[in-house]
Amino acid sequence: MSASTIEIDGSFGEGGGQILRTSLALSLLTGKAFHLRNIRARRPKPGLHPQHLMSVQAAAKVGAAVTRGATLRSSDLVFEPGTVTAGKYHFDIGTAGATSLVLHTLYLPLALRGGLTSRLTLVGGTHVTTSPCFHFLDTTWRAYLRIIGLPISLHMVRPGFYSRGGGIVDAEIPCCSRLAGLTALERGPIKVSGFSAVAGLPEDIAHRQTRQATRRLRDEGIDIAMREETWPGGPGTVVALIAETTPVPALFFGLGARGKRAERVADEAVDQLLSYVAAEPAAVDLHSADQILMPLALADGPSVYSIAEVSEHLPTNAAVIRLFVDREIVCEGKVGEPGMVYVR
């Protein structure tokens, strides 16, 4: 192993898969090899699971990388990047593993190093727990990228829920020569909209989710316009609430599961939205705070943004980015409380 290989302990900070994804993306972007040990050590089932392994395999394919340890349940990985090549790629996780997390691994290397527009087809989960759902990516994440200069296009061909998966997402990633910094300190007035959707389940579930979300928000003095949708495939259910505000709309969602009441699905989305509202005037939501950090660390010029809540992911992601990129990143605030992020 080369002396210049970056050594990373995957058990530090939040100790999850984000360390892997950020390392893969930045390795392709910087040309620096890394050795990651103790992969996902702080998770109940550590090591590489199907969506993590697909992130490794996909990164290796688009970046002509050499890998060692890229197997299911592996806790030790060496990744030596080559040259990133734009193109048309198809990656099937084979389970309900999150397509969003594979996309998070690939989009920046393809945009900044590919030289041409790339098209991805990702097969797996589009609405699964502990990962951003398709509609969050399409509504919130993609809007932040557009502001800083990367207009990605997304299309959900078919939804995929746990445990069947089978969802399909198409992404078009244009070549990008530079990214701009972001200043987002306050948000404007909030207008809330949303939807309640079912796939392969009775429409009454969507009605109950709508009633619960509407009742709770109106009790808090928040008016809301919600629509109901029936999707193919499934079974699955989702409630999404969108806070139309600046700098981008913030989407919060709850997902159904076997034995989980429709009202509880709605409550999960409502609780997240109310937490965001209570953190006024913070501009950036909990999940976007760490998801936009990597592109901003590669942008021209500084960035500063206020966040509704500091997650464990945020300082962990900052620490990994600093291993690859010479950029000052300061995260202020305690975990679970509002904070600030500076990229200088």
How do residues 260-270 score in pLDDT, each as one tens digit? 999 999 999 99
Closest CA to 200 of 256, 251, 155, 144: 256
**Token pair for 134:** 């398709």
Q: What is the pLDDT of residues 303-343, one digit of tens each?
A: 999 999 999 999 999 999 999 999 999 999 999 999 999 99
The answer to whether the peptide bond before residue 159 is cis (omega within 30 degrees of 0) is no
**Domains and their CATH numbers in the chain:** 6-183+284-338 (3.65.10.20), 187-277 (3.30.360.20)
pTM attached to this predicted model:
0.96
The C-alpha atoms of residue 302 and residue 294 are separated, in whole angstroms, by 13
**Residue 315: CB partners within 8 Å, gap ≥ 6?**
13, 331, 335
In this prediction, residues 293-305 reach a mean pLDDT of: 97
For residues 249 and 283, is the Cβ–Cβ distance under 8 A? Answer: no
Tell whether the model's pLDDT for residue 227 goes beyond 90.
yes
**How many CB atoms sit inside 10 A of residue 241's CB?**
26
Percent of residues, the chain, with pLDDT higher than 90: 97
The DSSP result for 15-43, as a single string, is: -SHHHHHHHHHHHHHH---EEEESTTTTS
Write out the catalytic residue numbers.
313
> Average per-residue pLDDT in the chain?
96
pLDDT in tens, 133-179: 999 999 999 999 999 999 999 999 999 999 999 999 999 999 999 99
